[in-house]
Structure 1
């Protein structure tokens, strides 16, 4: 894998993988160096071909990757448009590391050929520090707590010890297993039942009745009749700052619309490996 620091050292083939990875996901078919049929010309090797399919439409995208050191001229647009127009593809895209000359942008308008610049992000230029780079986030959290106030239980066995008015126990996932009063394991826990009540009940005191439910406490079975509990809520705020450069290192610009995106180099290469390379 490449990192942002060695972006300038990648070659044209890795650049092609980055472009493919940016378009790849589980629902989209992506191929690199694909022989695409062009009526009247046989086939043409396309750097990246993307097929998007849904219940309502099929969409084919032809992508030409240009890893040049200088802005591309209008002749590149003419070349791509020449094979795109007779094809059955829906759109053609030229992706350039170094952008485009003004003549290329003018020529592309109205042709169906889209021009994208994809290069390493320049923090001070592409992400102005005072506007975009740092995001201050305040995350408000609501904490809900459930406190058991009382439990009404009665012994199922003829054991004098189970007739005590109070039974001291700390419940966990093991000793809170629920049984029927016939001592059949239900596969549920009292903790699980109470957690569900914590999620669904309103703030305040409640009584939950139980029917044909028993607990095994300290070796003795007790029928659980009811639980009295209280729900409380408290608010807390967590403040933190996100540095966009922790997650993005690629600058992606549509030269015809001016739209900009910030993407991750490592995510693109991982996407290529998982969805393109491993699927081919």
Structure 2
């Protein structure tokens, strides 16, 4: 059984494979032995690249891979400058596992050296990595019921109200099932409209009234509907695969839409609640929408079964 490569070697191989994927036509060699420019003695180089610019001009690039637990400092850049000069390469690149100090970046930029970090399915740690900003809309259901008139035998709690049979044609239906049916229809319409128009789904409100059998006037008013809670992804919520070049501020790779947890009312630790989704032209947005389901709404309503129905009849009399 082949022994596992040490971490530093795995890092070098990962950098090599990433560079190969960027330019399949380039000759990219890991652990290359290149003659020293001054002495001719073979010297080990982490990654050696030979390519052509505009398919005409030859270019040699030296890549050094540093898998240290701390950021590279200015002295590390000085040492690499010596390696670069002795290698005969026209361009130098350093990949650091833990990043760079600011003086190191300043030194590298002054000498034309590219400072990079490789991300392998890792959380983002700087905003410059992001090619899009993720937002999430989750459903916020509201339900309100109030007696407009007081009559004998009326339900006092929402649980009792939910059990009322409503006349809906050939077959009676419990009030809670009528609410759920109307909610499902409205939700489907909002979703369809958003998909057809390419716009964000809107909030909505529906109502049900119960009439007094003696007077014909409304004695109970029920309002329910759907609104939205808004969330913005945290920086650490994005998983990054690719390479970030610090000296030029360029990222090559992919980022994932942050994970969303569907098991509870909150989408998870990758998200923070915000008041709204920005209407900004200066950054690309990716917006996810969770429309919810009938079962979660039913559970929400049943959890409120012991709640007393509001009575506004006296308020209306005195209005």
Q: TM-score, normalized by length of structure 1?
A: 0.46
Q: For CA contacts below 8 A with separation 6 or more, give which structure has more relative contact order.
A: 1
Q: TM-score, normalized by length of structure 2?
A: 0.41
